[in-house]
Structure formats: C-alpha cells, structure tokens
Structure 1
Amino acid sequence: MPHDLHARVATTDDLPWIHELRHRVYARELGQHAPDPSGRLRDAVDGHNVYLVVTQDHDSQAGPDRAGFVSVTPPSAGRYALDKYLTREELPVLDEDGVHEVRLLTVEPHHRSTLAAPLLMYAALRWIAARGGRRVVAMGRTDLLPMYLATGLRTVGRTVRAGAQSFEVLTADVAELARTAAGRHRATVDRLRARTDWRLDIPFDSHPATRAGADPTACEHGGASFTAIGTDFTALHRRHRIVAADVLDAWFPPAPAVRAALTEDPAWTARTSPPAGAEGLLAEIAAARGLPRDTLAVGAGSSDLIFRALGRWLTPTSRVLLTDPCYGEYAHVTEKVIGCRVDRFPLRREDGWRIDPDRLSATVAAGRYDLVVLVNPNNPAGRHAPAAELRTVLADAPPQTRWWIDEAYIGYVGLTESLAHLAATDPRVVVCQSLSKMYALSGLRAAYLVAEPDTAARLRHWTPPWPVGLPAQQAAVAALRDPAYYTERWLRTHALRRALAADLAAVDRSVVVEESVANFLTVTLPPDGPGAARLVAECRRRDVFLRDLSPLSPRYEGRTVRIAVRDTEENARIVAAYGTALRTLVPAPSAVPVTPAPAPAPTAAPAPTAEPVSAAAPAPVAVAVG
C-alpha cells in the first residue's frame, strides 16, 4: 500500500496556511472568534507551541495537500492556553509535572472523512510520549464528548464557554492513552502505519518492546544494542562491530580473579546448585564494607531487590516521591506495577541537576510520603549529592517516611560517600548497591541491600532460595577481594570520560556536553536542530548505540542523549559516528522544524479552539482536542 499520508513537524512555510485555516474554522465556521480583517488567527501561546502537520497525496502534480495540523504546548512553555480561562486552583492538574496541552486539532473540510484526523491525534500522542510527557490536557467540544471519551480522555468537571461553543476540560495519563491506542484502536493504528510516510524524529510505535514483539508493559531500558546483536544468541560475533554506549555496563573486564573463577571449571559451575542463602557472598560483603551481616540481603541485581522490597512495602494507597529525572525502574514499579501515587521532585538544568537539600527537606517535611527514592549518583542526570548534605536532610526528615538510596555508581565518587552505615542503624533508611555496573558483572546480576536488622530480616524472609546463581556468587566474592583493581579502573573511567567529552564538544559547539561523575555523559542538542531520537537513529546506522533520554523525563525536551564511556577505540567510534550523524541531520533552511515566534494578539479576545472534524471521520486513536 502506498504511503499517501505524510506526518511531520511544521516548517516556517506552513505558518501562513495554519493561521489562515484557524481563521476559516474558528472564526467563520464555528463562531468562536470575531472575524479578523487579516483573515488569520494567532494568539500569544503560539510562540511556545509545536505544530504537527499531515499532508496527503492527490492525483495532480502539485505535490501533497496540507490536510490538517495539531498543536502541542510542552511544559517548558511555562503556560498553557487553559490558563486564560481557569486558575491553577480551579485546574490543579496544570501544576503536575510533565503536562502537555494538545489543542487546535484542525482539518481541511475536504479531508475530514480521511485518516488525517486520527493520524494527527496519534502523532501528538507519540510526540508527547517520546518526550517523557506524563499527562495530556485538552479542551473538547461538549457536543463531541463521546468521541473524546472513546480515546481515553476523561472530563475533570470543568466547562468553558467561548463564543457559540461550549467545551469540556479533558485529561488523561499518557501511558494509558498509549495502551488504548495499542489495544482498542490497534486496527486503526495498523492502517496508519501502512499508509504513513512518518517524518517525525521519533519512532512510529510507542515502545521498543512493541516493535520486537515483547511485552509492551515492561519498563523501557537501554539495550537496543543487544537487539542488534541478536537476542537468540545465534550471532554473537556481531558484538565485535557494535558499540553498546546505550547501556552503562563497564567498559573494562572483571578482575583477573573473577575471570579465573568463571573459567576454572565451567561445567561444574553450570550444573551445581549454589549456596541457597548466598552465605559466602553475604559474609564477603559484610567484610568488604564493614557491615554487620544481619543488615544485608542479596538479590540478582538491583532490579530484583527493587521489585521484591517495594512490592512488599508499598500499596496503591502509598505516596512516593521520586526525583525527576530518575532511573526509570522506580517510576515503573511504583506507578505501573504497584499503582502508587507518585510525585516528582524536579531537578533543574539551570541548577546543574543537583539536589537542593533545603528544597528537598521542605518538600518532605509534612510527612505525607511513605517512600522517597534517591539515586545517588543520579542516573541519568549524573550528579552526586554529598553524603554530609543527605545526612542532614535525613536527620530532619519525618519518622514515618522511608528513604531508598540507590548507590549503583557510588564507587565513582568513593565508597566513603556511601550511606550504608547509616542504613544499618536507621530504620527509615535503606541503601541498595549493585555489583553489576561497578564490578563489570552486568551479565551475572548481583546486588545487595543494607537496612537495620529487622528490616533486612523481613526482606530475607521473602527471598526465595538461591537468589543469586553460582557463577554470580563466585564472581562477586572474587571481585570484592580485589579492590585495588577496581579502584584503578574507576579512576581510568574518569580520564576516558573527560577525553570523550572534550572530543564530542569539539564536533559542534552549539551542543551542550555535560559530564557525569560516573561512567557516562550527556549531550543536549540545540532547540532549533534535530531531536535526540534522530541523532540516536542516525548513529545506529553506524552500529553506535546511544540512549535517548526523552522518555525518562519531559525536562530533557526531546533533546538529550546519554552516552556510556567505553574504551579508547570505541570512544573514537562514538565521536566519529556522532560527527557524521550531526552533519547528516543538519537540515536545509527551508526544512527546519520550527516553534513559531510570538505573534500579535488577535483583534478578538482569545477563545478556546475546537475539534472541527466531521462526524463521518474515522474513529479516533489517541486524543481529540478542542
């Protein structure tokens, strides 16, 4: 089937048509605005919108017709069109984190019975989801309310009237809208996929797992590089041409003693059941960290401990505070698996992504949180909160609030910065430390948790026998016995990271390169250039895999990529692929995606926009807005 529909971001050439179509529909057709002598409608929010456009081929040689457009206002705009009609007290959803406003879904009359409207709805949903959006708000015409509800949108009990039209304020969780599109409206999405030339800088499908045939409800991680190698393990030779900088696995091999333990008698290791309670591993952790053994519990990686512990401690009535950005597993487990109410503690780019201890203390002071999660050093932000500052915050925190401190990368700032000894005595504090990333054991999966003895004992009670396999137990014990090797590797990682950052910065000075304190860095592309997803896709064509951070947080605005530190040779390949990708993606001036500049206010007072799609339009697949 030919791709006769085209979805893309608007260009400067589209703006006159957008403003003229708005006037035809909202002033002439629907009577929301008084006609403007210019024949065009604009408003102050235009300066912060992103317009998505659908065009459709026809039989003439004049090129595709512009069929319609939709507008998305991201949270970085600082205001929404709804702010003109309702206060934040009347509509508190606007103060939530990651809220995107969808408005101005507008289709040319002769395209209203085509797939243009569903494609615009789906494109808006994908654009928001790919940038870490968590909630959609919109205004929909009251007479079309059943159509909006069919998409998964829900009313909030607020009605706005403008001109001849009445509107309902609508909202929905982005993840729930995506599930509705993939489920109830799957047939329509499949039709759109078959007919659409998708020119947005994000994948058409909502989740890598969906494209790979795996579980779309799973947490999205890095690791697309392994898909390129082959998850059936039949072509492992491909690993030699892949640069896996999308996951934070160690660039260095395990210590010599670890390799020796794994190769001495692999047949015996494979067929032999390990110590059921990982007693030797627990003893080695206690000795290496100077901790009482009864304060420890082990697991097959930190994710095992996260699921096991939080699944026991939290319920759907629990309230949780996460930093934003934060390692994605925590939002997945608390929001999607358990169903907790989750609030975000925003980290700010302008503050260097650091945790402000005074602001954090004020946020938790009322005692309304059952759990606060801190990843320290933070992944993906890359900053470390000094132990002394966190000890002060914890000392003043309410007694009923439990704190989960994830120290997966603590070795890069020094093990003396760990709060493990505090966790061993304070019943409110738990520390989780992975042995996977720091000790080059990601393929074996080993981690431990530190808590006061009663808490640790209860978690061990809910731990099945043989929680860590024999190869992992042997490797972890050997690794903990060779601190000198790993300390040298961690120091070398800092040098490699600094060199990689300098080389990347030299490629394009308009790109912001930010080093972390650990084994990765981030690059943030300028707002007027290609997005993170396009950069990642272009580098993959050269077998270099990077991580688009957009789904993790709306604070990245679809422009930030995380790059894991590799060895000298692979870092050079990263720089070369990155430079080639940027040169390939620099668009011609007429094709640069734009956020329109602010325009003069219309002569008529602004009014909410409406959904002009006719009743004969195909069933919506995602969002329909006014």
Structure 2
Amino acid sequence: MSNEQSGAGEATPRPRTLVQMLPSYSRSPAAGKARWVASSNESWMSPSPAALAAMADSVQRSNRYPSLAGDRLVAALADTLGLSETQVAVGAGSLALLGQVLAAFAGPGDEVLYAWRSYEAYPILVTLAGARSVEVPLDAAHRHDTAAMRRAITERTTVVLLCNPNNPTGTVLAIGEVESFLAGVPGHVLVVLDEAYVEFSGSSGDTVPLLTKHPNLVILRTFSKAHALAGARAGYLLGPEDVVRAIRKVAPPFGLSAVAEAGAVAALADTDYLLGTVAAVSGEREFLHRELEALGLRVPDSGGNFLWIPENGRRAADIERACAAHGVSVRAFDGEGVRVTIGPRQASLAVLAALDEPGTARCAETRQAVPTTYPHHSTGGAS
C-alpha cells in the first residue's frame, strides 16, 4: 500500500484545545524512592480489618457487576447520617464526584470560584468542564478569604468550591464562618463543601445539618483519608434531592467497584477503628507541629492529616530535596511552601532532621525521647 493510500504523512489526531491548557497534577520526584511517603496525604496505617475482610470476600464475586449506583453504600450512609437515600450519591472517590458536579452545573461561559492555593485538581476539572476558574488568594494566615470570595461572585458564577480543611494549608473554616459565607451566596450558585479531611478536624458532624438550611449546598467526603482506603477509591456526596439527581444522571454506569463498596460499608461501621486512626494522626500531627515551630518555622494549625510549611525564607524545592535525602518524600509547591503528610514517628524525625542543622544535639535528644508505635495500628513504612 502506498503512503497516499495509507494516509502516511498526513496530520495525526489532535486532542481538543482545552487539553493543551490543562495544568499537570504534581508528584514528588522522591515518592517512588523514599522510605516514608509523606507527599500524597495517604494514611500510613492499613484499613480497618473489617474493611479488609469485606473487600477480600467481595473479590470472590468479581465476575459480577456492582450495583448501578452503589446502592449498599448509599443506604449505609443515609442511615448513618440521618438522610434520605435520595440525598446521597457515591462514586470512585470524591474527585470523581466533583467531576460529575462540574459536568452537571458548569460549562462554557460559566465561572467556578475557589480559593488559591487549594486542591490542585480543581483547575484541571474546571478546565475539563469547559468553564473558567476564578481563583481568590488565601489571606495572610493561609485561610480562605471568604469576604473576598463573596465579592468575586458574578452573574457568571455557577459553582463555588470550599475546601475545608484546605489542602494543602490545612487551615479550617469554623462552622460559623461556613454558615456566614453561605448566607451571602446567591441561591442559584451551587456551593461545594469539600471535606476530604473533615474527620481530622474534629468537626465531622457539624455541617450535615446545613443541608436543610441551604438548598444550594452539597458536601463531598471520601474514604481515602481517615478510613485509609485511598487505593480502593470510594467517596460520597450529600445534598438536596434535585442536585443529587442531576449528579447521578451524569455518572458513568457502575462507577463504584463492588470491592470498594464492600470496604467502604465495613469501614463506615467500624467507628472504633476510625477513632483510633484519627487519634494517632492527630497526636503525631501535634508533635511534628510543635517540633517544627521549635526550629523557628511558622506552621499554621492544621485540620488535616498533614502540615503546611510556608517557604519562610527557604525554597520549597530545597526543603523537598533535604527531606528526600533523609528518606521522606514531601510535596513542594514552588514559591509557596511544602506539604508534609503525617506519618509514623520515624518519618516525623526524618523531616525534623532534614530541616534542622545536621547532627545537632536537639534532634538526637528528640529521637531518643519519643515513642514509635501506636495502639492497634500498623506503622509500616508508607505514610
């Protein structure tokens, strides 16, 4: 066959123009080499034994499709949270559900408003929806500037994203601040309260009652963080029936795997294990925060399973390299700061050694004085 007949030399398929505009999701260059992975906000502890057993059992029936809309998990969440099943949608992580929200409520000509810096997937998903991102800078304390966000809402705004606790800074809007913000948002604008880390903030039950007061509110949560099911991919959305109905319409069929659903249902029921995980993470977060400040670093209080180290005169890339040299991968945001996922004590000590002068007595004393195990939880190398 000739080149003319085969089409050789002709233009190759080209992706849509917006694909060229997509920012890349970052990754620590040390993530695949480090002893402790503190760059992806994963749990260093394994999932609940009940969740592991449920997933193993589910694998035996992998020849069958899962339910169309994650019916078992929807029912379990509705029962646990005191909601109707028509107010709950589930999917392959809260990120997938956010993509559905934007597919249903944002498109060409629309604006999606969010704080910045915040979760780096936001501009990717907004661009994919064909909408325009409107980024409102955080305030000097690395928190959402809710007054500035309200002022930035225009007639083209269709969705506002509130990441609370905020990723990567860990800062938290109190329930009163969230309510005050909602009161100032026009009713036709959908507010998405992204609570991926809410269990670590101590306020996991506070926002659900807001759904009855604000029909333009939806809440996103995940099993990836506190429930330690990041690899299974399960998340959920809570909201008004009409909003949930629209989100389900744009969902791909069988979007939640049967294995993930089984693990999530079991993890949801194992509240004792969840409380133990949260207590272990919170305790280690307090230790690392205290020790970082003892080194002279200004670190904001965090409601997540991570801490934010603003550059404070030291380049984020330099901090990332220093931590990698001590066996820890962290996430650098060049020109802004570094996010460190909370891990076992050995990982915290490695971060402190990287940020301190090598071999100082203070680090050596700290290393000898702290525990390295946590009750009924594994402390494996990955964090």
TM beyond 0.5: yes
AA at the equivalent of 1:249 = E
Tell me if 1:461 matches 2:249.
yes
Q: Distance in 2 between matches of 1:358 and 1:542?
A: 41
Considering only aligned residues, what root-mean-square deviation do their CA atoms show, in Å? 2.6
Consecutive unaligned residues in structure 2, runs of 5 or more: 1-16, 361-383
> How far did 1:471 drift?
1.5
Q: Distance in 2 between matches of 1:338 and 1:457?
A: 19
Q: Distance in 1 between matches of 2:208 and 2:87?
A: 10
TM-score (norm 1): 0.51
Map of 1:24-423 to 2, 5 A cutoff?
Answer: 217=22, 219-222=24-27, 224=29, 226-228=31-33, 242-263=35-56, 265=57, 268-334=60-126, 336-349=127-140, 352-364=141-153, 367-423=155-211
Do the aligned residues in 1 keep the contact of 2:327 with 2:350 (CA within 8 Å)?
no
Residue deviations 1:453-500, cap 9 Å, x none?
A: 111112212222221112211110011101222123212212101111
Q: Distance in 2 between matches of 1:313 and 1:389?
A: 24
Tell me if 1:534 matches 2:318.
yes
Tell me if 1:561 matches 2:360.
no
TM-score (norm 2): 0.81
Do the aligned residues in 2 keep the contact of 1:512 with 1:525 (CA within 8 Å)?
no
Q: Distance in 1 between matches of 2:337 and 2:233?
A: 28
3-state SS of 2:309 partner:
strand
Q: Distance in 1 between matches of 2:23 and 2:265?
A: 31
Residue 369 of structure 2 is matched in structure 1 by none
> How far did 1:515 drift?
3.4
Residue 9 of structure 2 is matched in structure 1 by none
3-state SS of 2:134 partner:
strand
Q: Distance in 2 between matches of 1:408 and 1:267?
A: 26
> How far did 1:541 drift?
3.5
Q: Classify 1:269/1:250 alpha carbon distance in 2 versus 1 (closer, same or farther; 3 Å).
A: farther
3-state SS of 1:512 partner:
coil
Residue 375 of structure 2 is matched in structure 1 by none
AA at the equivalent of 1:280 = R
3-state SS of 1:513 partner:
coil
3-state SS of 2:253 partner:
coil
Match of 2:349 among 567, 572, 576: 572
Match of 1:480 among 255, 258, 268: 268
Q: Aligned residues: percent identity?
A: 27
Consecutive unaligned residues in structure 1, runs of 5 or more: 1-175, 180-215, 229-240, 551-557, 584-626
Residue deviations 1:63-93, cap 9 Å, x none?
A: xxxxxxxxxxxxxxxxxxxxxxxxxxxxxxx
Residue 518 of structure 1 is matched in structure 2 by 304
Do the aligned residues in 2 keep the contact of 1:367 with 1:401 (CA within 8 Å)?
no
Q: Distance in 2 between matches of 1:269 and 1:544?
A: 38
Residue deviations 1:30-62, cap 9 Å, x none?
A: xxxxxxxxxxxxxxxxxxxxxxxxxxxxxxxxx
Q: Distance in 1 between matches of 2:163 and 2:89?
A: 19
Residue 330 of structure 2 is matched in structure 1 by 546
AA at the equivalent of 2:323 = C
Do the aligned residues in 2 keep the contact of 1:512 with 1:523 (CA within 8 Å)?
yes
Map of 1:416-431 to 2, 5 A cutoff?
Answer: 416-423=204-211, 426-431=214-219
Do the aligned residues in 2 keep the contact of 1:410 with 1:418 (CA within 8 Å)?
no
Q: Classify 1:416/1:440 alpha carbon distance in 2 versus 1 (closer, same or farther; 3 Å).
A: closer
> How far did 1:581 drift?
7.8
Residue 364 of structure 2 is matched in structure 1 by none
Q: How many residues align structurally?
A: 342
Q: Classify 1:416/1:577 alpha carbon distance in 2 versus 1 (closer, same or farther; 3 Å).
A: closer
Residue deviations 1:404-457, cap 9 Å, x none?
A: 110111112234554334336643111111111121000000001112111111
AA at the equivalent of 1:219 = S
Q: Which has the larger radius of gyration?
A: 1
AA at the equivalent of 1:512 = R
Q: Distance in 2 between matches of 1:464 and 1:289?
A: 25
